[in-house]
Structure 1
């Protein structure tokens, strides 16, 4: 998915836990750098963990990073954001985050990340890519259709941007 010649840049939300593993942080940082290199605006929850790692990767690569914060001020924002949107919505900010994206990449898993994955899938019409984390199964134990599974940061970005 390329940015329009004279339109807004592609926006990709990268979601993941604030309490992430070192491998998840490394993957998120690489995803941020790759997205910035492709000219995408990176959206994230603006906090720690995967959110800080993707923001750091994009910022260091010269990209634009917007954090959609759950609280009423910017005190919990990570230092790598280009801009912070204060929502005072708590976890409901997850809906704002995924609704604002042209694609969603999920790295790792937590309850908040699962809600972002579910909201992105319910929205429809945008690629939703997972790198590790949640695998949602139906009653028969089969993976639910729709999520694109990636094995690397490079594949996650390729699937998200097409």
Structure 2
């Protein structure tokens, strides 16, 4: 079974986040990974487009109960009717989680991934979560490029 990597990020993203997500999707597809995302716009659309450009498989886990909001680059669209609770499905389906950019929904995905304690979590840009002393939380790997993000998952040697 191929590796499944969730790529999480905001629906409204910067050009840099878009480019990082597109490159991340392409690199994952080139390594044979299935990309899992929220299936809509922004980072989700960029990672889907990048993966599909390299012949990859992209699964979108949608918040609505129908596929009307699905990005056209998805290979598979799964309507859940769960709203933001679908973030838990995305994280639980993954062998690793890569977070690109930041938003409240993205932060919830990062928190769910960290809480699960069973997958590598890599952050590329976005918000920084600090403890009560203002120190970065341990366990989140920080990448400066899409290639480094894939390396930090530890899934490929």
TM tier, shorter chain? over 0.9
Q: Partners of 1:45 and 1:67 in 2: how far apart?
A: 5
Alignment partner of 2:14 out of 18, 21, 43: 21
Whole-Å separation in 2 of the counterparts to 1:125 and 1:23: 29
Provide the residue aligned with 1:4 in structure 2.
none
Distance 1:159 1:45 in 2: 22
State the 1:96 CA deviation: 0.4
Q: Of 16, 35, 48, which aligns to 1:42?
A: 35
Pick one of 128, 131, 149 that aligns with 1:138. Answer: 131
1:71 aligns with 2:64: yes
Q: Of residues 41, 53, 64 in structure 2, which corresponds to 1:60?
A: 53
Q: Number of residue pairs matched? A: 155
Q: Give the TM-score normalised by structure 1.
A: 0.94
Task: Give 1:45 deviation, angstroms.
Answer: 0.2
Q: Does 1:104 align with 2:97?
A: yes
Deviating 4+ runs (over 3 angstroms): none
Identify the match of residue 121 of structure 2 among 128, 147, 150. 128
Using structure 2 for the length normalisation, give the TM-score.
0.97
2:110 matched to 1:117?
yes
Displacement of 1:101: 0.2
For 1:130 and 1:100, the matched residues in 2 are separated by 18
Q: CA RMSD in A?
A: 0.6
Residue of structure 2 equivalent to 1:83: 76
Give unmatched runs, 5+ long, in structure 1: 1-7
Q: Deviations over 1:14-61 (max 9, x none)?
A: 000000001000000000000000000000000000000000000010
What is the SS of the residue equivalent to 2:99?
Answer: strand
What is the CA distance between 1:125 and its match in structure 2?
1.7
Q: SS of the residue aligned with 1:73?
A: coil
